[in-house]
Amino acid sequence: MKIGILGCAGRMGQMLVRAVLDADGCTVAGGTERPGSDAVGRDLGEVIGCGPLDCVVEADPACLFEIADAVIDFTSPAATILHASLAAETRTALVIGTTGLGPDDEEQVRAAAARTPVVYAPNYSVGVNLLLALTERAAAVLGDDYDIEIVEMHHRHKVDAPSGTALGLGRAAARGRNAALEQVWRKSRDGHTGARPKGEIGFATLRGGDVVGDHTVVFAADGERMELTHKASSRAVFAKGAVRAALWAGGEPPGLYTMRDVLGL
């Protein structure tokens, strides 16, 4: 399978290229960067420091979608919407790891998935996706006698909050309770907030240093507390999972999938 990487010169992009090179059954189709980037026009292998790969970094993503079997996108919401339309036009499998997409953005992703396989997940770590499944199950078993708080911490440069993974954990917990997250969430607290309502799912966001990603789901009741935690020490786990998703998506019909589908959870 020929896999392309959007935003290939960034930290995550470089890890994705290396993950494709290390994986069996696939090759690097190419990579793109924003117009004006120093990486544009250079050999992709030289950009990531692994030696020539005989493919040049392009500024036009349409070129990559024309030659790739699957494309991995960890860029920005505005760029991802453009990439989703290109995937639909070329019937190229698309793996989306971009966070911060709004409801309108997600609707456009769903529209693209009607024409091509799209994997869209808040996190591509196998461990985090197991945590999502465990969170949904625990929420169903424990019920709303247990308060749920989701605590996440990331590096100082992260621009969205709560993280996409934290929101994914919130949705998993809400599904376990047969509730809509948007109707029960509390994204922040400040000042005199009053007592915590029953059934509320709260979020606490921490930022600092170079933390790759820590997530804890707290189930707290009178007399006991249970915590489910995942800590990532390297972005490589996300890259490996995304490549695994791309390899899986290449054999699937059009549709919107998650890592739960990829892993069979």
**CATH code for the domain of 60:** 3.40.50.720
User: How many whole angstroms separate alpha carbon 16 and alpha carbon 26?
Assistant: 12
Kindly report the CA angle at 129 between 214 and 153, in degrees rounded to 5? 15
What does the pLDDT read at residue 122?
82
**For the chain, how many structural domains are there in total?**
2
- Please give the Cα distance from 62 to 66 (Å, whole number): 6
CA 234 to chain centre: 15
Q: In what order do the strands lie in the sheet with 201-207?
A: 185-186, 201-207, 147-154, 213-221, 224-232
Examine the domain organization and report whether 116 and 246 are in the same domain: yes
Question: Range of 71's domain?
Answer: 2-120+235-263
Separation between Cα atoms, residue 30 and residue 26, nearest integer Å: 12
One domain, residues 64 and 192: no
Cβ burial, residue 101 (10 Å; 0-12/13-18/19+): buried
155 assigned to active site: no
| Pair of tokens at residue 11 | 């930290």
Which of 92, 91, 79, 101 shows the shortest CA–CA distance to 32? Answer: 79
Do 224 and 252 share a domain, yes or no?
no
User: Is the domain of 115 the same as that of 136?
Assistant: no
H-type alpha helices, 143-180: 164-176
Give the model confidence (pLDDT) of 136-170 as tens digits: 999 999 999 999 999 999 999 998 899 989 999 99
- Measured in whole angstroms, the distance separating CA 221 from the mean position of its chain's CA atoms is 31
How many CA within 13 A on the CB side of residue 258? 13
Single pTM value for the model: 0.81
Write out pLDDT tens, residues 237-249. 999 999 999 999 9
pLDDT confidence band for 235 (50 / 70 / 90): confident
Predicted pLDDT at 180? 96
Helix axes 126-142, 236-249, angle to 10 degrees: 90
Residue 253 has pLDDT above 90, yes or no: yes
Q: What are phi and psi of 133, to 5 degrees?
A: -65, -40
Report, as an integer, the average pLDDT of 102-106.
95
Identify the pLDDT of residue 123: 87
Regarding whether 109 and 14 lie in a shared domain, the answer is yes
Known active-site residue 154: yes
How does pLDDT run across 61-99, given as a tens digit for each residue?
999 999 999 999 999 999 999 999 999 999 999 999 998
- Mark whether 152 and 255 lie in a shared domain: no
Q: Return mean pLDDT, the chain.
A: 95
CA-closest candidate to residue 1, choices 60, 61, 62, 71: 71
Q: What is the CATH number of the domain that holds 136?
A: 3.30.360.10
Catalytic pick among 83, 154, 230, 240: 154
At residue 110, the 3 state secondary structure works out as: helix
Q: Which of 83, 155, 158, 187 is catalytic?
A: 158
